[in-house]
Amino acid sequence: MTVVEIAELAGVSIGTVDRVLHNRGRVAAETRDKIQAIIKEKGYQPNPLARQLKRKKQYRVGLLTPELEKESRYWQLIHDGLARAVTELSAFSFSVEHFSFERPITSSLRSAFSHMVEARCDAWIIAPIMQEETLRLLQSIENPPPYAFVDSPLPGANPLVTVAQDPFQGGFLAGKLMNLIAPTTGTLAVIRPYTGAFNLNERARGFTSWFANKNGVRVIDLVCPEPNMSEATAVLEQAKRDYPDLGGLFSVSAIGHKIAKIIQKRGWGNTLHLVSYDLIPENEQALRDNRIDCIVSQRPEEQSRIALFQIYAHLVLGKPVEQKIPMPFDIYFKENLSC
């Protein structure tokens, strides 16, 4: 039922119905009662889209991620997906302000978060990849705006929505893939570039869990700091000395192409298999060149796009949203890459 139909049934003008709906202006008590009875009987609901277009409200969304050019430019994909969503919702005047930090520097995250709070955005989209500090910062805000998580869940927080894979299952799947392509006995290694990220740690745990009951298989944990690949090289060289039967590596993040360069440079390609996360361009090329065996990807562009549409549904439409939106696991071998 529309305002026009209510006016016709009540025998009054549209303006009179509008005054009753918004409780403003003078309307005779008898007319008001008649209009309200029609509204109650017919179940009229205001149109939030029309109301939004009339008000022309502008919504500012804060995006909190690591620097876009860092970490193999994975975060640029998150940013690009959000920009696409802003274009798709152009009628509703969404804009994005990016607040970046350098992982794993706590003071950098604190500063970026503080700037985002001061900006008084209508909503936030956050990559909670520095687990403990992100949770502490969120809990320090008494009445935060609605916020969405992308890339990773964060236990203990209360987001409007989390758009991410189940990281444990992602690691478990990587273990199953490794079991298909690597020797079924010997030593395997999980490579983590950071130790304080819930999603990366859960992927490592899932991978290890897959092999927990496999006789003759040992899984070791290697921390290879992304900003310092010379240290990562030293870590891998030591692992090769300590475990001569090392046959496979699982990179829990997008640094697979960097690990592949180390493998190639050291001449380990014939004996060391590599499964990596994230189909960034460098990893895709390494997969084409047979330097990575398999990639598990998570559609980062779609994560941020979905997050903004959920914020739109909440802020503009006033609709409830799903608290968790799981992303699928995309598996890539050289043979199923697009040409």
Cis peptide before 104 (omega within 30 of 0): yes
Pick the residue with more confidence: 51 or 178?
178
Q: Over 90: is that where the pLDDT of 107 sits?
A: yes
188, 292: one domain:
yes
Nearest-angstrom CA–CA distance, 251 and 137: 29
* pTM exceeds cut of 0.85: no
In a domain, 101, yes or no: yes
63, 121: one domain:
yes
Q: How many domains does the chain have?
A: 3
150, 86: one domain:
yes
pLDDT of residue 50: 54
In a domain, 182, yes or no: yes
Range of the domain at 73: 57-164+300-328
In a domain, 51, yes or no: no
Where do the DSSP E strands lie in 165-290?
186-192, 217-223, 246-251, 273-277
In a domain, 139, yes or no: yes
In a domain, 209, yes or no: yes
In a domain, 52, yes or no: no
159, 304: one domain:
yes
67, 7: one domain:
no
Contacts of 331 (CB under 8 A, 6+ apart): 173, 177, 294, 295, 296, 297
Confidence category of residue 106, pLDDT binned at 50, 70, 90: very high
Q: Over 90: is that where the pLDDT of 202 sits?
A: yes
Residue 54 pairs in a beta bridge with none
34, 117: one domain:
no
pLDDT of residue 36: 87
Nearest-angstrom CA–CA distance, 62 and 116: 6
208, 141: one domain:
no
In a domain, 336, yes or no: no
CATH of the domain at 126: 3.40.50.2300
In a domain, 334, yes or no: no
Classify residue 157 as exposed, middle or buried by CB count within 10 Å of its CB (0-12, 13-18, 19+): middle
142, 208: one domain:
no
40, 187: one domain:
no
Confidence category of residue 226, pLDDT binned at 50, 70, 90: confident
Q: Over 60: is that where the pLDDT of 52 sits?
A: no
Q: Over 90: is that where the pLDDT of 44 sits?
A: no
Where do the DSSP E strands lie in the chain?
59-66, 94-101, 123-126, 147-150, 161-164, 186-192, 217-223, 246-251, 273-277, 294-297, 324-326, 330-332
Pick the residue with more confidence: 269 or 14?
269
64, 124: one domain:
yes
177, 290: one domain:
yes
Nearest-angstrom CA–CA distance, 216 and 232: 26
pLDDT tens-digit map of 275-315: 999 999 999 999 999 999 999 999 999 999 999 999 999 99
262, 249: one domain:
yes
pLDDT of residue 49: 53
